[in-house]
Structure 1
Amino acid sequence: MDFIDNIEAALGALAGLLWGMPLVFLLVGGGTFFLLYSRFLPYRHLAQSVRLLFRRADPNDPGQLSHFQALSTALSGTLGMGNVSGVALAITIGGPGAVFWMWLSALLGIATKFYTCTLAVMYRGRDSEGEWQGGPMYVIREGLGNRWRPLAYFFGLAGLLGTIPVFQVNQLVQVLRDTIAIPAGLTSNVSHFNFDLTLGVILAALMFIVASGRLQRLGSVTSWMVPTMVAGYLVLTAVVLLSYYAEIPHALAQIVTDAFSGSAVAGGAVGSVIVTGIQRAAFSNEAGIGTEAMAHGAARTKEPVREGLVAMLGPVIDTLLVCTCTALVILISGVWQSGDHDGASLTATAFGELFPVGGATILAVLVSFLSLSTVFTFWYYGSKCLGFLIGARYQHHYIWFYLLLIIAGSVASLNLVVNLVDSMYALMAIPTMTSALLLAPKVNAAAKAYFSSSEQQ
């Protein structure tokens, strides 16, 4: 145990070092630059983003996914535990005020996504097998040239480690155990460890079934799973919030007030609230991190700006809508103040307190599908990173390592998992934001040409 404790402490120190004000400035400052540099273009064209979702893809265009499938795949990598457990962790660590900074990060993330995902299509590159691929590593290689190539490999390595499924699996197992298995007495004769391990094996089997169909099956699965589960989750939260609508103004006021006072955080450190909010927002919507660019880079389109417009919807749906619903339920319930729960268990307890009948159980079912969709998508991201690092012909071997990670995640320590993923997300942001800032003039030129042509229609 000492060895595990030492690793956990080291990763915690690394995450704390990486998620300092310089990285927060890179994400927030970078997003602000994109918004101003584009003259608020992302906000002005949000309605067009929605229309493009239902535009029929040209089969002759390069790419593998429709606009809708690309957004669904990208959202499946963000919607899930980031919206359920991530929000709970933000409130537990940073207090209600952290949600405000999640909102700010998402508002700026709309502009960031426009730039990073436009570039993901603009600078697609061929892998070692000759297939077209997208993502920050190809943007750096194709857009910035060979002297920046080490930065592309840097992202590939951080992305390989940052998209491991252990956090999603860990929290999914925790929710199913605490809300379904224990109340039903399913773990009375079996240790929690054995239950968690068995569930991990089952999840690994489901992952193998999806992975055997590669990207096409992933796109098909996420295109129906994500909208269905998001709709179900929003209905669940709507029932709760309508029942307690009188408490909503107080909860919103609590979020705004605490954002600038830090009174709910030990020591009242506003800086800690800001960092926590930005950190959890990055984990939730991935704006500026770069993983979602790999999904949008696979879109079937010859027009990069069009995919950038579609990608802008990610932070709106993910953080401004779904995360806000989760935060309001947690704050209205008041269970966050007890300190008895964290992560997904806190959210499940909040729903259990407020929903008339079986709220925690319904949440567990919905979260299961959302979490699974994230696990499925992270496999794709990780395999693409591995393919870039060692060659695309070897990337199919990644599935075996990934299946072992799923099983390991089912019994891993939450703190160890969170610190590892947080550290890698911080490292991914550096090459993603650097390349996007350097290539921003190319995006502006492409956007000017796009909006002056008939291609936008």
Structure 2
Amino acid sequence: MKKQLLALFSLLLPLLTFAQEVEEEVGLDQKIDEAFKPVSDFFSNVIFFEIMGTPFVLILLVASAAFFTIYFGFPNIRFFGKAINVVRGKYDELDHPVAEAMYGDSTPGGDAIETIRDESKEGEVSHFQALATAVSGTVGNGNIAGVALAIALGGPGATFWMIVCGLLGMSTKFVECTLGVQYRDVGEDGTVYGGPMYYISKGLKDKGFKTLGKVAAVLFAIFCIGGSFGGGNAAQSNQATIVIKEMFAWESTAAGALVGLVLAILVGIIIIGGIKRIASVTEKVVPFMAVLYVLCCLYIIGSNFSLIDDAIGLIVKEAFNPTAIGVGGFIGVLLVGFKRAAFSNEAGAGSASIAHSAVKTKYSASEGLVALLEPFIDTVVICTMTALVIIIFNFGEAFDYGTIPGAVEQADGTFNAIINGITYTDVEGKVLIGGELKEGAGITSSAFAQYIPYSNVFLTIAVVLFAVSTMISWSYYGLQSWKFLFGRGKAADLTYKLLFLTFVVIGAAASMGSIWAFSDAMIFAMVFPNMVGLYFLFPVVKKQLNRYLDAIKNRA
């Protein structure tokens, strides 16, 4: 571990020197944006290609989620209580050796031939730890910055479509996480390797499509690594840095790199310990911060009780008749809501199945049920709480929904605006509050500050902890994909972790625009190969669900 930390310091410290040198000539954030913009633009154009004005990837996500919801008989509703009971440990005895003797299962887990073992003894984390790790990968700054971005762009109506997307996404998450456990690999040392790259390659091989499975699995692994560097890392450190710099009134871009370095060291110490240490951290941090954040939101909402019905009415009305400037009508607000919800809960991207694969269980569907709670916690509860706080705050007309009035679209598709004689570039998704341009977490921070004294301190801590928890979870997702491509040796392990930590610093020093564009593209790119696996293998999930429900029904 000492050697790994030494390598980390030797790699990251020169970035500070670079930051200080660059700042004197061109802002470091501008330098990074110039480097990333062509890449993010290219991937955005490819991934978000449109059919009749709607990105095909969103059509695929929503249509698939609706299909799985209907095919499995609305599991997001029927099995909600059962999912909570699994997390509580009510059915844990089904994984004990005595249960195997009672129910007689010659192939525990009903798995592919490579994993025929007593899986009650395998896995690395409990149901709750797996859920906490996966939730920490989704409950992050997408719930704070992402929701604010959605409302800034699409107005209150975007909230409605975020909720719809979250409810449908519960079914997709159930399918992909069941498959994650079903086709996982377990190493000789007990280390678990799982996720879409395994169920795509193994599952399609079983179906007679070995080549297609191998190609799709490799593509997923590549995109997942990109997602771990982008949305699961750089975008998180970016938002954490924004709130830290805002709280201390730091303007220097070198200060951003310094914050990034501190975050990288903190994250590095955690991720070097692997999934067990990650799970031990997330099971403590995520519930604590999520509950504290929700309580603060409830306090603000409760303090404005008389405005709740007005806020809900506005959300429903604006969902179908949006008035936000430049949102593009009904389709525009729907797309904004779906896009931000999909980015926040990642249902359909397959990432969470990597964390759930490490669970200790012999029934793959048990973990699928646990996983369907994620989009509910992430989108239906936390994202909606944030949205209500911002909407209630804006009843005081703090800002205009949609594009800043007077903003002019440029040749590259971005919007520039002249505010108080100063020209601001790339103002899309930003709002003017109290004469200051705010974006992402800054909007939420302004709303909190209206009602809670010293809320900037609390929100800064929340954003940072959410960012760190998301980064450590995504480091695991990316590492699993990296090992799938490059092997499971120590050299591959260390190489990935150093690259990951470098992107923590890059994200902290960059501006929001290019980082979020790249992040969106990478995470949504994962959807395409993942859906190949889901559509080939969803009958396997049906079989495993019935098997688990029968075991529950027949237990003593």
Which of the five TM-score ranges fits, normalised by the shorter chain?
over 0.9
CA deviation after TM superposition for structure 1 residue 41, in Å: 2.9
CA distance in 2 between counterparts of 1:422 and 1:368 reads 20
2:226 aligned residue: 161
SS at the partner of 1:452? helix
1:197 aligned residue: 257
Of 318, 331, 334, which residue of structure 2 is paired with 1:271? Answer: 331
CA deviation after TM superposition for structure 1 residue 61, in Å: 2.8
CA distance in 2 between counterparts of 1:413 and 1:25 reads 29
Structure 1: gaps (5+ residues): none
The alignment status of 1:18 with 2:115, answered yes or no, reads no
**Are the counterparts in 1 of residues 32 and 506 from structure 2 also a CA contact under 8 Å?**
no
The alignment status of 1:430 with 2:528, answered yes or no, reads yes
1:150 aligned residue: 215
Deviations for 1:368-422, whole angstroms, at most 9, x for unmatched residues?
Answer: 2111101111111111111111111122321111111111111112111000010
1:333 aligned residue: 393
The alignment covers a number of residue pairs equal to 448
CA distance in 1 between counterparts of 2:522 and 2:283 reads 27
Identify if the C-alpha distance between structure 1 residues 12 and 50 changes in structure 2 by more than 3 Å, giving closer, same or farther: same
**Identity level (%):** 34
SS at the partner of 1:341? strand
CA deviation after TM superposition for structure 1 residue 7, in Å: 4.2
CA distance in 2 between counterparts of 1:208 and 1:455 reads 45
2:503 aligned residue: 405
2:167 aligned residue: 107
**Are the counterparts in 1 of residues 61 and 348 from structure 2 also a CA contact under 8 Å?**
yes
CA distance in 2 between counterparts of 1:156 and 1:398 reads 13
CA deviation after TM superposition for structure 1 residue 267, in Å: 5.6
Bigger CA drift: 166-175 or 404-413? 404-413
CA deviation after TM superposition for structure 1 residue 423, in Å: 0.4
CA distance in 2 between counterparts of 1:273 and 1:16 reads 20
CA distance in 2 between counterparts of 1:397 and 1:54 reads 38
Name the aligned partner's letter for residue 79 of structure 1: V
CA distance in 2 between counterparts of 1:26 and 1:34 reads 12
SS at the partner of 1:392? coil
CA distance in 2 between counterparts of 1:141 and 1:205 reads 35
CA deviation after TM superposition for structure 1 residue 43, in Å: 1.4
Could you say which structure has the higher helix fraction? 1
Of 71, 76, 83, which residue of structure 2 is paired with 1:42? Answer: 76
Identify if the C-alpha distance between structure 1 residues 153 and 349 changes in structure 2 by more than 3 Å, giving closer, same or farther: same
Name the aligned partner's letter for residue 42 of structure 1: N
CA deviation after TM superposition for structure 1 residue 102, in Å: 0.8
Name the aligned partner's letter for residue 32 of structure 1: A
Deviations for 1:275-309, whole angstroms, at most 9, x for unmatched residues?
Answer: 21111111111111111110011111110010000
**Are the counterparts in 1 of residues 124 and 190 from structure 2 also a CA contact under 8 Å?**
no
2:37 aligned residue: 8
The alignment status of 1:209 with 2:262, answered yes or no, reads no
Identify if the C-alpha distance between structure 1 residues 427 and 128 changes in structure 2 by more than 3 Å, giving closer, same or farther: farther
Name the aligned partner's letter for residue 463 of structure 2: V
CA distance in 2 between counterparts of 1:126 and 1:63 reads 8
Of 455, 463, 484, which residue of structure 2 is paired with 1:367? Answer: 463
CA distance in 1 between counterparts of 2:293 and 2:177 reads 27
Alignment of 1:223-262 (within 5 A): 223-262=283-322
2:239 aligned residue: 171
2:478 aligned residue: 382
CA deviation after TM superposition for structure 1 residue 9, in Å: 5.7
2:371 aligned residue: 311
1:301 aligned residue: 361
**Are the counterparts in 1 of residues 123 and 191 from structure 2 also a CA contact under 8 Å?**
no
**Are the counterparts in 1 of residues 177 and 356 from structure 2 also a CA contact under 8 Å?**
yes
CA distance in 2 between counterparts of 1:205 and 1:7 reads 24
Identify if the C-alpha distance between structure 1 residues 305 and 336 changes in structure 2 by more than 3 Å, giving closer, same or farther: farther
1:358 aligned residue: 454
CA deviation after TM superposition for structure 1 residue 10, in Å: 5.6
Identify if the C-alpha distance between structure 1 residues 456 and 12 changes in structure 2 by more than 3 Å, giving closer, same or farther: farther
Deviations for 1:91-115, whole angstroms, at most 9, x for unmatched residues?
Answer: 1122221111111111101111111
Q: Normalising by the residue count of structure 2, what TM-score does the alignment of the two structures yield?
A: 0.77
CA deviation after TM superposition for structure 1 residue 6, in Å: 7.3
Q: Pairwise CA RMSD of aligned residues? A: 2.1
2:341 aligned residue: 281
Name the aligned partner's letter for residue 347 of structure 1: T
Identify if the C-alpha distance between structure 1 residues 130 and 138 changes in structure 2 by more than 3 Å, giving closer, same or farther: farther
Identify if the C-alpha distance between structure 1 residues 261 and 435 changes in structure 2 by more than 3 Å, giving closer, same or farther: same
Bigger CA drift: 199-208 or 395-404? 395-404
Name the aligned partner's letter for residue 48 of structure 1: K
CA deviation after TM superposition for structure 1 residue 13, in Å: 5.9
Deviations for 1:348-377, whole angstroms, at most 9, x for unmatched residues?
Answer: 11111232x112221111222111101111
CA distance in 2 between counterparts of 1:127 and 1:281 reads 35
The structure with higher relative contact order (CA 8 Å, sep 6+) is: 1
1:324 aligned residue: 384
CA distance in 1 between counterparts of 2:87 and 2:170 reads 16
Q: Normalising by the residue count of structure 1, what TM-score does the alignment of the two structures yield?
A: 0.93
**Are the counterparts in 2 of residues 166 and 405 from structure 1 also a CA contact under 8 Å?**
yes
Higher Cα Rg, which structure: 2
The alignment status of 1:181 with 2:260, answered yes or no, reads no
Structure 2: gaps (5+ residues): 1-29, 97-118, 401-430
Of 155, 164, 183, which residue of structure 2 is paired with 1:123? Answer: 183
**Are the counterparts in 2 of residues 80 and 367 from structure 1 also a CA contact under 8 Å?**
yes
**Are the counterparts in 1 of residues 124 and 191 from structure 2 also a CA contact under 8 Å?**
no
**Are the counterparts in 2 of residues 53 and 68 from structure 1 also a CA contact under 8 Å?**
yes
CA distance in 1 between counterparts of 2:74 and 2:166 reads 14
SS at the partner of 1:210? helix
CA deviation after TM superposition for structure 1 residue 269, in Å: 2.5
The alignment status of 1:219 with 2:279, answered yes or no, reads yes
CA deviation after TM superposition for structure 1 residue 336, in Å: 4.5
Deviations for 1:41-64, whole angstroms, at most 9, x for unmatched residues?
Answer: 331111111111121575943211
CA distance in 2 between counterparts of 1:257 and 1:44 reads 29
**Are the counterparts in 2 of residues 265 and 273 from structure 1 also a CA contact under 8 Å?**
no
